[in-house]
Amino acid sequence: MTERLYLSDPYLRRFHARVVRTLWRDGKLAVVLDRSAFYPEGGGQPGDRGTLDGASVVDTQEQDGDVLHLVDATGWNAEEVEGVIDWNRRFDHMQQHHGQHLLSAAFQRLHDAPTVSFHLGEKTCTIDLDCPLERLTADALRSAEAAANESIWQNHPVIARDFTGAERARLTLRKEPVKGDRVILVEGVDASPCGGTHPRRTGDVGCIAVLRAQRWGSGATRVEFVCGNRVVRQLIQSTDTIARAAAALRVAPAEIVEGATRLSGEAQARRKAFEALEAKLSAQVAEQLIAAHPSGAISHTVEGGMQAAKLLAGALVARGRTALIASGDGVRVHLCFARPQGSGPSMSSILKNVLPIIGGKGGGSAEMAQGSGDGSRLTEVLAVAKGQADGA
């Protein structure tokens, strides 16, 4: 069983160890040591990276009490090695993981919202809370964030060790332990069973920023957040995004909301004007088609996709005619078959009969049906449809 050096000293960056054995796992050579400062993946925290005698450790996993160091190598001969932890990554994970403890404690203390799971991602972290989203208003999110940050800035000592017997019984644990006796304790703030890496003082977390919350599953809420240096990176990214958005809108960064609102209003006005022109054009085309085809169903092809086909079909139906309209979209074709209400051929039946010709899908009612498929046999499709509509 590998001795876990990170449990007693999470700040240990270099260590020497003896190679116990090697094996293959998931196509990678795995080195087992008698002692290791590498944290293996678990409890929502990814495994450490680094090097063993210069060979890259690309993943760290646990198996039967041993820490498996998956290395970028095809063979291994050394009996003793020097391990070097990727410290920037480790410290980032310590910030995120301990920040999660403080944030989860704040949500439970302030809003009776216990954490049921935690994920430490490459860019952001999430906790899933057993609490409906409706209870976690913007003010609730900010208050939990503020309480967690207050715990950070008070720079409390972080105690990480095994607690047993009467000493353990005196602790009010935020959650039940899964295995082992190790507890991460911040006096007056939180006590939680955990085997992960944590800083010696809460101040090392730096700060916490809650980014967003969303409904997750049945009655749960997923909260996305970042801690420490990730907050700085998020601020840089957000500032850059705001600057580029302001430049695109040709406004100052502080005027983005007003600029976006104005642009949205202008776009909506243009869209309504465009739709009015489309309707007017469809009416004119319908009049021309009716003049050219005084009787029978009218089949016609337009540009503009299904929306254009529906507009023309609607204009023809409004004038008492049966419409068999198609519109190409690259290699596909969209079909809209429609007729006035009352007796007449079933548009859904006609569409169902022609869809096999184009290998398409669709459906509808007796008055209107829509579908799409391969456009290479469009002429045949419209001819068959017109024959069935006129012969009904």
The model's pLDDT over 21-39, given as tens digits with 9 standing for 90+, comes to 999 988 899 999 999 999 9
How far is residue 33's CA from residue 67's CA, in Å, rounded to a whole number? 7
Q: For residue 349, is pLDDT > 90?
A: yes
Give the 3-state DSSP-derived string for 198-250, with helices as H, strands as E and coil as C: CCCEHHHHCCEEEEEEEEECCCEEEEEEEECHHHHHHHHHHHHHHHHHHHHHC
Predicted confidence at residue 274, as pLDDT, reads 86
Provide, rounded to the nearest whole percent, the portion of the chain with pLDDT above 90: 74
Predicted confidence at residue 390, as pLDDT, reads 86
- Choose between 141 and 165: higher pLDDT: 141
| pTM to 2 decimal places | 0.74
The model's pLDDT over 263-307, given as tens digits with 9 standing for 90+, comes to 889 889 998 998 888 889 999 999 999 999 999 999 999 988 888
Hey, where are the domains in the chain? Answer: 3-85, 91-243, 273-391
How far is residue 341's CA from residue 354's CA, in Å, rounded to a whole number? 22
The yes/no answer on whether domain 3-85 falls in CATH 2.40.30.130 is yes
The model's pLDDT over 35-52, given as tens digits with 9 standing for 90+, comes to 999 999 988 899 999 999
Of 94, 203, 93, 80, nearest to 148 by C-alpha is 203
Q: Which fold has domain 273-391?
A: Diaminopimelate Epimerase; Chain A, domain 1 (3.10.310)
How far is residue 57's CA from residue 31's CA, in Å, rounded to a whole number? 9
Q: For residue 392, is pLDDT > 80?
A: no
Q: For residue 330, is pLDDT > 80?
A: no
Radius of gyration of the chain (CA): 33
3-state helix, strand, coil in the chain (%, to 5): 40, 30, 30
Confidence of residue 378 (pLDDT cuts 50, 70, 90): confident
Confidence of residue 206 (pLDDT cuts 50, 70, 90): very high
Strands (E), 77-228: 80-85, 115-120, 125-129, 159-162, 182-186, 190-193, 208-216, 220-227
How far is residue 91's CA from residue 172's CA, in Å, rounded to a whole number? 28
How far is residue 368's CA from residue 199's CA, in Å, rounded to a whole number? 66
Separation of CA 274 from chain center = 35
Average pLDDT, the chain: 92
The model's pLDDT over 183-202, given as tens digits with 9 standing for 90+, comes to 999 999 999 999 999 999 99
Q: For residue 168, is pLDDT > 70?
A: yes
Predicted confidence at residue 180, as pLDDT, reads 83
The yes/no answer on whether domain 91-243 falls in CATH 1.20.120.450 is no
The model's pLDDT over 90-139, given as tens digits with 9 standing for 90+, comes to 999 999 999 999 999 999 999 999 999 999 999 999 999 999 999 999 99
Predicted confidence at residue 314, as pLDDT, reads 93
The three-point CA angle 203-185-85 to 5° equals: 60
